Amino acid sequence: MHLGETAVPPFGFMEFCDRMPQDCRPASGTRRPVRLTAARWQQLNQVNDNVNETVTPLTDQELYQRREYWTYPSVAGDCEDFVLLKRKRLLELGWPANALLISVAYDRDGAAHAVLVVTTSQGDYVLDNQIGTILPWRHTPYVWSTRQSTQDPLRWVSLRRPLSEATATSASP
C-alpha cells in the first residue's frame, strides 16, 4: 500500500476511542511486518472465518438507530464492528497492534467499507466480512481511501495507487 498525506480518522472510530481508550493506544515495540508463518496464517484464517460466521451483518441504523456507531459486536454488526472484533481477537493471540490496521475503502457500489489490513513479511492482507477469503490488498475489488498509521492508531493516512498503476489503468480502453 502506498501511503499519502495525513487523513482525518472516521468519526465513528474517534467516538469508539473516546469510549474505549485502552483499545486505541499507540503500539509499543518494533514496527516491522509480522513474519507470516503457517501457524500465523492459520490464526488469521480462523479468526476471519469465526467472526464472519458468528456475527450477523446488520447496519448501525438497524441496530442502534444511528448512522454510525463503532463497537464490538455481540451477535450482529456492520463492517467496522467485524473489523474491531477481528483486531481484538488477533491482539489476544499476540499479534502486534501496529500490524493490524483498520482501513477504509470503497466497494463496487461506491459505498465506504471498513476492513482489517494485516501487514506481514509476505505483504498486506485483507480480512473482510464481504469477501470470505483473505486476499492480498491488490487482489481486492476495492478503491482504497485511508488507514491507520503503524505508529499511532489515532493517526490515519490516505492511501493512493502507485503512479505506474494509475497510468496503466487510465490508459486502458
Full DSSP string of 115-137: EEEEEETTEEEEE-SSS-S-EEG
Nearest CA among 101, 95, 85 for reference residue 50: 85
Note the pTM of the prediction, 2 decimals. 0.89
| pLDDT score of 171 | 38
| pLDDT score of 28 | 74
Segment-wise mean pLDDT, segments of 10 residues, the chain, 173 residues: 81 97 83 90 98 97 96 97 98 95 95 96 96 94 93 90 44 35
| pLDDT score of 169 | 40
The full set of domains in the chain, from first to last, is 6-21+33-158 (3.10.620.30)
Residue 12 CA to residue 113 CA, distance in Å, equals 13
| pLDDT score of 170 | 35
| pLDDT score of 160 | 74
| pLDDT score of 164 | 43
Return phi, psi of residue 133, to 5°: -85, 140
Helix (H, G, I), strand (E, B) or coil at 106: strand
Return phi, psi of residue 101, to 5°: -110, 120
| pLDDT score of 32 | 76
